Amino acid sequence: MTSTVGQVIRCRAAVAWEAGKPLVMEEVEVAPPQANEVRVKILFTSLCHTDVYFWEAKGQNPLFPRIYGHEAGGIVESVGEGVTDLKPGDHVLPVFTGECKECAHCKSEESNMCDLLRINTDRGVMLNDGKSRFSINGKPIYHFVGTSTFSEYTVIHVGCLAKINPLAPLDKVCVLSCGISTGLGATLNVAKPAKGSTVAVFGLGAVGLAAAEGARIAGASRIIGVDLNSNRFEEAKKFGATEFVNPKDYNKPVQEVIAEMTNGGVDRSVECTGNIDAMISAFECVHDGWGVAVLVGVPHKDAVFKTHPMNLLNERTLKGTFFGNYKPRSDLPSVVEKYMSKELEVEKFITHTVPFSEINKAFEYMLRGEGLRCIIRMEE
Ligand code: NAD
Ligand code: ZN
């Protein structure tokens, strides 16, 4: 391993040359890490909606050629100048948003929205010199959200890497580096349901199911899953959902249906759809006096949240969260420990596995809405 330190590494990467076109397996050159950077050997990566969304590039600034991927697990190969927290051989989870530990957000106990390393989907280069560490015959290939894990080796800012327990199986805990922690944290860190309380979860994709898992861990007595797709309910039972509501089955607003089911409203709701109507329903279905609604879904850019102010005056609380309020470096290791102590189950999120050479299959599963998470094994 030490023989590659300071050298350019040639390895395989799945390169997106054009929007919406299958990724192409290429040999890329990966430059050594610069100051505050770390070069990581990726062992497992998984596909998340955000990768697909930016690969399709409908509505955002297209940036190609690019190496996508941000949910992953790997091992540190070498570190750049000034990196003292990590050393070769450490096991890490890359995170699309970072923690510099020095800005006002990082110093605040309440925020995880680091000024320096907050997610930036438009940037395709490293902060240090504004250049890419990937190239093919000298032509630069852009990074994605500072992680670019669809490559056997990648270079990441030290602030976007969580050092985890080396005994944790990377083929499982890699899914904790994005969507699962987002949903779990939205419930455990933000909604904070008390034991025995009622929780509604809007949207039963991977993020919503993780939010339901959080409610199960918190000991909620009723977990009401809400989705327009009734096929999601069977799966949701495995994540603790006890009841199911499909808004399409009723001719009144779903918030009224839920209020009737729960004697005035749920104690907590977590919205994981990205749909503005679901966000409003999720807020209006919480009980007056104490109900708390948490928004997680990323809405359409022109969406506007409308509700009567009386709904707030009647002592309902509306909150929003980014990455489940977890600080990547400080908090993610403890989420991994929740898995190690069997409090949190991650296997049930993993529905497919493919070798790296078949990464395009993972895209097909997601585009067909099949399964939850597909693990991509870098070593065939
Ligand atoms: P997904 O597409 O797998 O699941 C969304 C589910 O919502 C689907 O089952 C869909 O049928 C359902 N749905 C859509 N509109 C609905 C409506 N009006 N009422 C009820 N159900 C409805 O998505 P996912 O990967 O689970 O992600 C969920 C959301 O979380 C997305 O918007 C994603 O962008 C967002 N997200 C946010 C963060 C964050 O930090 N805040 C991080 C990751 C993902
Ligand atoms: Zn910071």
Tens digit of each residue's pLDDT (9 = 90 or more) over 302-354: 999 999 999 999 999 999 999 999 999 999 999 999 999 999 999 999 999 99
Q: To test the ligand 1 pocket, which listed residue (121, 209, 239, 296) has its Cβ within 8 A of the most ligand atoms?
A: 296
**Residue 38: which H helix or E strand, with range?**
strand 37-46
48 is an active site residue: yes
Report angle CA 56, 159, 39 to the nearest 5 degrees.
Answer: 75
* Residues with Cβ–ion distance below 5 A, ligand 2: 100, 103, 106, 114
- Extract the tokens encoding 274: 């990205």
pLDDT of residue 61: 80
Write b or e for each residue in 182-199: b if 16 or more Cβ atoms lie within 10 A of its Cβ, otherwise e. Answer: bbbbbbbbbbebeeebbb
Q: Which of 368, 374, 362, 356 is nearest to 13 (CA)?
A: 356
For tokens 């102590």, name the residue: 341
Task: List pocket residues of ligand 1, CB cut-off 6 Å.
Answer: 49, 179, 182, 202-208, 226-229, 232, 247, 272-275, 277-278, 296-298, 322-323
Q: Which of 284, 272, 157, 263 is nearest to 225 (CA)?
A: 272
Q: Which of 156, 175, 144, 118 is nearest to 66 (CA)?
A: 144
pLDDT of residue 369: 87
103 is an active site residue: yes
Start-to-end CA distance of the chain, whole Å, equals 19
174 is an active site residue: no
pLDDT of residue 2: 55
272 is an active site residue: no
- Asked if 173 contacts 164 with a C-beta cutoff of 8 angstroms, the reply is yes
pLDDT digits (tens, 9 = 90+) for 194-225: 999 999 999 999 999 999 999 999 999 999 99
pLDDT of residue 29: 98
Tell me which residues of the chain have a pLDDT lower than 70: 1-2
Q: What does the alpha-carbon distance between residue 67 and residue 42 come to, in Å, rounded to a whole number? A: 13
C-alpha distances (whole Å) from 32 to each of 135, 152, 266, 298 are: 12, 14, 52, 35
Q: Given the CA of residue 322, which atom of ligand 1 is nearest to it?
A: 40
Provide CB contacts within 8 A for 137, sequence distance 6+: none
Type of residue at 238: K
Q: To test the ligand 1 pocket, which listed residue (273, 296, 298, 323) has its Cβ within 8 A of the most ligand atoms?
A: 273
Catalytic residue among 50, 149, 182, 262: 50
